[in-house]
């Protein structure tokens, strides 16, 4: 995956760390020269020391070829401008931190995945929004386990099956548990005979985290 990351502060540095660890092709844009040099010396990625809220800079970073743009600056106006430019150039996945909740609708109207308050943990959320776009929320637990939410797609292998049927067909990996189902605004506590339906929001515990092996059974991709 080709990812452009804007900003190398607390949030951005976490995103850069995660993305480079997963061997994605990463380009970082950071206007602070000292931070830019630090990232260049620490991570295996291309670093551009420039203002990202510029068409020329984004074009230099290869925005036309990018699969995702993640904006992590502490200025919502800059993040919004970058998101708008990313949308203009057809970037499929746009993700941004947001510093003022009042600006949430502006980003939402653009189809941008957003995370409030830039901190190190939210770097994980921003990266996860690119890595697993179907996941709506997640929480890491010690030992690599995660609890996360996603919506069941109509084409998902598990859609229309009970938990017993899903388990018998090997669709639920070992030590993966569905802990809650929300259907039409109602919270349901899963039982063996509970059916998983398209459109359900399910909360899942997975000992080995939200891997492709787990998520594809609920999303079909």
> Which domains occur in the chain, in start order?
2-131 (3.40.50.720), 139-219 (3.30.70.1450)
pTM comes to 0.62
pLDDT tens-place values along the chain, 221 residues long: 999 999 998 888 988 998 999 899 999 999 999 999 999 999 999 999 999 888 999 999 999 999 999 999 888 888 889 989 998 999 988 888 887 777 778 887 777 876 655 444 466 667 766 666 555 555 666 567 777 788 899 999 999 999 999 989 989 877 888 888 989 988 888 888 999 999 998 888 888 877 888 888 998 77
| Rama region for 99: left / alpha / beta (φ>0; ψ in -120 to 50; rest) | alpha
- Assigned token pair, 23: 């061997």
| Rama region for 9: left / alpha / beta (φ>0; ψ in -120 to 50; rest) | beta
């Amino acid at each position: 995956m080709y990812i452009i990351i804007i900003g190398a502060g607390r949030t951005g540095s976490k995103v850069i760390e995660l993305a480079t660890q997963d061997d994605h092709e990463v380009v970082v844009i950071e206007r602070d020269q000292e931070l830019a040099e630090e990232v260049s010396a620490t991570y295996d990625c291309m670093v551009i020391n420039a203002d990202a809220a510029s068409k020329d800079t984004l074009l230099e970073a290869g925005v036309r070829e990018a699969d995702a743009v993640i904006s992590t600056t502490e200025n919502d106006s800059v993040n919004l401008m970058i998101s708008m430019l990313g949308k203009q150039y057809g970037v499929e996945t746009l993700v941004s931190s947001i510093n003022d909740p009042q600006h949430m609708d502006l980003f939402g109207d653009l189809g941008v995945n957003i995370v409030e308050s830039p901190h190190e943990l939210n770097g994980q959320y921003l990266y996860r929004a690119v890595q697993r776009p179907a996941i709506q929320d997640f929480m890491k637990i010690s030992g690599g386990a995660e609890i996360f939410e996603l919506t069941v797609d109509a084409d998902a292998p598990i859609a229309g099956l009970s938990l017993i049927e899903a388990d018998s067909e090997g669709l639920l990996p070992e030590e993966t548990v569905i802990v809650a189902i929300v259907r039409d605004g109602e919270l349901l506590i899963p039982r063996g005979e509970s059916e998983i339906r398209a459109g359900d929001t399910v909360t899942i515990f997975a000992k080995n985290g939200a891997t492709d092996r787990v998520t594809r059974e609920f999303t079909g991709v």
